[in-house]
A = this chain, B = another copy of it.
Amino acid sequence: MDPLAPDLGVGLVGHSFMGAAHSQAWRTAPHFFDLPLQPRMRVLCGRDPSRVAQAAAKLGWESTETDWTRLISRADVDLVDVCTPGETHAEIAIAALDAGKHVLCEKPLANTVAEAEAMTAAAERAAEHGVRSMVGFTYRRVPAIGLARRLVEEGRIGQVRHVRAQYLQDWLADPSTPMTWRLQKDKAGSGALGDIGAHVVDLTQYITGDRVHSVNGLLETFVTERPVPGAGSGALLGGGSTNGSQETAQVTVDDMTAFLARFGGGAVGVFEATRFATGRKNSIRIEINGSLGSLAFDFEDMNVLEFFDATEPDATAGFRRIVVTEADHPYVGHWWPPGHGLGYEHGFTHQVVDLVTAIGRGEQPLPSFADGLQVQRVLAAVERSSELGTWQPTSTDAELLERTTR
């Protein structure tokens, strides 16, 4: 930590899973990386006063608020970190940007394209006054993913032809798993599509440097009713029924999605995201085949990137298991010696590093809200194609279409 670096007051909205991950990142980043600004964990915001106080003590925040508008108005807050459910992203992020606060917003950027567009407009207005914004696709910051992007940029796999991406979880495979807000469309926007499908859309676009141009896919809900947790009061979450004594509520989002995609540069993509892949806990698998080589990644073995170099002679060519823990791998030199791997939360620390560095330099951090909006448009196109059973463009912008079509 540079004692001379100016403070960057941070306010965090939300304190469950993502809130905990972001807190660890804000706390850790300055101890391993040189930052131009010194993050200060000023205030944590949550609706319930006692729960937020408890969380602030646990997660290490100096103070609390129960109303996010108050957090935004605080003079000691320079940056608002939005870790709430998707339905509230637009309102909070736009208000923060308009108040001149930098914003880090968890993904997916919003629950609808319209919201994401409004957020992007707000971000662009704010940028004119030096106010920065970023959407939290943290998996980009896994060193193996950064290495993948670098190898593509260097031309090591040539022209990209195949993109194969799966995000596999299994926490809904059991039909008796109870109902949650994540399975309600009005809260979550979508199911596997937006929650985890968004990640593989972003990751593959990031690695290839290309964009999904059109999609053809399906959404499926395997288990349409689930038990209401702690039910018995007679109040249904909506649309449900009562089977004997057990109340159930209707699942209104997708359990899984699969879609074919065409990239602007000619590659063909095959995507799948599901919460029903029994035995796969958080398996993000990406394989990219190019004219000169291939890359393969699985988050279950997150410190490894596999690379096939087709310019090698046949006799010695093979997928190399690169253990991505060398000093000249992305981010790694700031941590431990070779072979001492990183974990899930390190991506959040790297996100803080990149964000604070960009703010310090007066540059636009990436991925921007515009990037988040573009991912949102891909998701919306998947939903449309699922309804219509046909290919859908990911943009209505004729010029963009022009640009991304071969």
Question: Interface residues, chain A, CB within 8 Å of chain B?
Answer: 1-3, 17, 21, 23-24, 27-28, 31, 57-60, 147, 150-151, 156-157, 161-162, 164, 166, 169-171, 173-175, 216-218, 220, 222, 256, 258-260, 262, 266, 268, 270, 272, 274, 276-283, 287, 289-294, 299-304, 306-310, 314-323, 325-329, 335-346, 389-391
- Tell me which residues across on chain B come within 8 A of A310, comparing CB atoms: 170, 173-174, 278-279
Of the A-B pairs whose beta carbons lie under 8 Å apart in the complex, a sample of 16, sorted by A's number, is A2-B57, A3-B57, A21-B336, A162-B272, A162-B277, A270-B270, A274-B289, A278-B310, A280-B289, A300-B304, A315-B322, A315-B328, A315-B329, A316-B320, A317-B320, A340-B345
Find the B residue at minimum CB distance from A56.
Answer: B1
Residue pair B278, A294 in contact (C-beta under 8 Å): yes
Residue pair B169, A268 in contact (C-beta under 8 Å): no
Known contacts A57-B1, A57-B3, A268-B220: does B317 contact A279 (CB below 8 Å)?
yes
Residue pair B321, A319 in contact (C-beta under 8 Å): yes
- Tell me which residues across on chain B come within 8 A of A345, comparing CB atoms: 335-336, 340
Find the B residue at minimum CB distance from A314.
Answer: B326
Residue pair A282, B315 in contact (C-beta under 8 Å): no
Known contacts A276-B162, A301-B301, A323-B300: does B339 contact A169 (CB below 8 Å)?
yes
- Tell me which residues across on chain B come within 8 A of A266, comparing CB atoms: 222
- Tell me which residues across on chain B come within 8 A of A162, comparing CB atoms: 256, 272, 274, 276-277
- Tell me which residues across on chain B come within 8 A of A27, comparing CB atoms: 27-28, 31
Contact of A341 among B1, B302, B315, B323 (CB under 8 A): B302
- Tell me which residues across on chain B come within 8 A of A262, comparing CB atoms: 218
Cα separation A270 to B216 with both chains bound (whole Å): 12
Residue pair B317, A282 in contact (C-beta under 8 Å): no
Contact of A342 among B320, B344, B391 (CB under 8 A): B344
Residue pair A339, B282 in contact (C-beta under 8 Å): yes
- Tell me which residues across on chain B come within 8 A of A293, comparing CB atoms: 278-279
Cα separation A274 to B288 with both chains bound (whole Å): 13
Find the B residue at minimum CB distance from A219.
Answer: B268
- Tell me which residues across on chain B come within 8 A of A335, comparing CB atoms: 345
Cα separation A258 to B162 with both chains bound (whole Å): 10
- Tell me which residues across on chain B come within 8 A of A166, comparing CB atoms: 164
Residue pair A323, B281 in contact (C-beta under 8 Å): yes
Cα separation A21 to B310 with both chains bound (whole Å): 29
- Tell me which residues across on chain B come within 8 A of A287, comparing CB atoms: 277
- Tell me which residues across on chain B come within 8 A of A60, comparing CB atoms: 1, 31
Residue pair A308, B282 in contact (C-beta under 8 Å): no
Cα separation A301 to B321 with both chains bound (whole Å): 12
Known contacts A341-B343, A341-B344: does B294 contact A280 (CB below 8 Å)?
yes
Residue pair A24, B28 in contact (C-beta under 8 Å): yes
Residue pair A339, B294 in contact (C-beta under 8 Å): no
Which residue of A290, A291, A304, A391 has the most chain B CB atoms within 10 A of its CB atom? A291
- Tell me which residues across on chain B come within 8 A of A338, comparing CB atoms: 171, 281-282, 314
Residue pair B161, A276 in contact (C-beta under 8 Å): yes
Which residue of A21, A151, A170, A328 has the most chain B CB atoms within 10 A of its CB atom? A170
What 3 A-B pairs are tightest by C-beta distance, nearest first? A282-B339, A281-B339, A279-B308
- Tell me which residues across on chain B come within 8 A of A289, comparing CB atoms: 170, 173, 274, 276-280
